[in-house]
Amino acid sequence: MDDKLALRVFVADRYYPIKVERENEEKIRKAARMINEKVLQYKQRYIDKDVQDFLAMAALQYVIKLTEEEEKLEKDYLPDALRELIQKVDSILEIKE
């Protein structure tokens, strides 16, 4: 049984037909809503630009945010005790060099 759902997602003045897993429908709709809100903010701020510029700026802003969150996760991933152990090993290795 095919559990795909056919959607028409409206993003930046256009409809895009996509097929998604049913459990991802809300994520897709939320993502489209977030993009549209960001594009609208840019439309209101910069009147002399076109939709392509707004989409590019929205994409850039969201990728920057994603990158920052990934970096934060990488830093927070190691428990402090393990981080201290790594520092001790590094300092011992530096002494031996």
- CA–CA dist 37, 45 (Å, integer): 12
46: its two tokens: 């910069």
Q: 2: Cβ–Cβ under 8 A, 6 or more apart, which residues?
A: none
Q: Is the pLDDT of residue 1 over 60?
A: no
52: its two tokens: 């392509």
The model's pLDDT over 50-90, given as tens digits with 9 standing for 90+, comes to 999 999 999 999 999 999 988 887 776 667 777 788 888 88
Count how many domains the chain has: 1
What's the predicted TM-score (pTM) here?
0.70
Residue ranges making up the domain that contains 15: 4-96
